[in-house]
Chain A
Amino acid sequence: MSALEVVGASKIFNQGTTKQVDALIDVSLTVQPGEFVSLIGPSGCGKSTLLRLIANLLEPTSGSVSVNQKTAAQARLDQDYGMAFQQAGLFDWRTVSKNIELPLELKGWEKSKRETRAKEMLELVKLPEFADLYPWQLSGGMQQRIAIARALASHPPLLLMDEPFGALDEMTREYMQGELLRICGETSTTVVFVTHSIPEAVYLSNRVVVMSPRPGRITKVIEVGLGATRNEDTRAADGFFKGITSVREALRGTHAEHAAANAVRGVEDR
């Protein structure tokens, strides 16, 4: 029973005009429940577009997307996934716990159930004392944790993340990576994670999906093979560097193909 199945999906913008963009061509991906999968690739490779196809924020030009054995559209209506972006996107006028309650409000949950769930999520992300504060009173990293709490508030089986740690400094980033794995482990959530960072992709994932642009497609899927657990030693382990090297080579391969073309913004070794 797969958590997510993308079959031959394509997304073409402005089809038939001179401004046609082949954002994604014939992309297929299957993700099992509980897996952590990263999408990585240079700008224009379609990773954010793919994420939005899964989220049903865009319709595929051809092919299909099924989430939790339903169509993407049905999954969105049933709130079977939560989403987190690079900007935490919390509402300034709501307290932290009211921000977490937002998706629950929209689904018509009653007040006491919402409040209990919000408290639970705050415990999960280890920020219970910030319940009545406002987002602008929190640091960037804390805001992202609240955004994750919000994304998981209705306990969706799938979590979609679009470079959520991109705006954070290095130390906070590593801390957040550890916290994300802990949280998703505790809730058994499947994760699809878009990133620019090779070490981040390797540290977090079971599999890393390498993509390339023009047209956007999957070039290689790399099994990270670091086992189920992660800790501080993981970043020093041999397997970690092997994983980073494989991903880098896969990306270089795609890079060489397009080296002659305009300067492509690449990925970072941070």
Chain B
Amino acid sequence: MSTAARTNASATTRVLGRVRQAGPALVFGILFLALWESAVRGFDLKPYFLAAPSKIFEQFVKNASRIWQASMVSGGNALIGLLIGTVLGVAMSFVLNRYKFLGELITPLAIALNAIPIFVLVAVLNNMYSITSEIPRRVMVTLVVYFIVLVNVAKGLTQVRSTHVELMKSYAASDFAILRKVRVPNAVPFLFTALKIAAPASVITAFVSEYFGGLQNGLGSRITSNIANAKNAAAWAYVLGACLLGLAFYIASIILEGVTRRGEAK
């Protein structure tokens, strides 16, 4: 078999293998939805408790354009915060690598921040900007993403194999050369790990920030307003929209990782 044919054949078997692997998960998912649907109908559950999947889907389709608009707002905030937070986080990690003392200072702070619900700062940020600004939410997302990226990339820059550093030193390589040739390549997978955490986190943060008042045009505010108007099934549809948005961000980060790291050994 030629190499091309062989790789094609193995690719097909791989895909088929993956589909078979996914079997139980698909079955579980379908079973779950079926159970949900029948429970709502069978027990005559009221929509304020649980809406049937069919009703949610119906509302989703009905409100599709509004859900899309709201997603654009929340998603836009998330994306801006994600991009800026990543850039700042990476930049700061280089600074931390150069000035070790800063690392000692910031690490305990980052660890403490991990434990607290820092999104409550939006209440403070709202006060620091005008009431019609989207900036507080974007700043919040930036902050959350910044710390995630900072901690991970800094780890990637420092946790290199000591044998590699020793080798470079034996070549009388400068610190900058070591940074370029050993630390940065080592840190790239850490960056993608960070992105895989930060991408969904950015959506969640953008979302939650809307509960603190200010502009009411994102997904979060739509959900609360629908509930306030006793339109729970519609609220569920917006929840679905939010989940899809979060999933989209996560999948994007995975694709980004795959595209830039093709051919590298896992």
**Do A and B have CB atoms closer than 8 angstroms in the complex?**
no
Binding site for B on A (CB under 8 A): none
Report which B residues bind A (CB closer than 8 A).
none
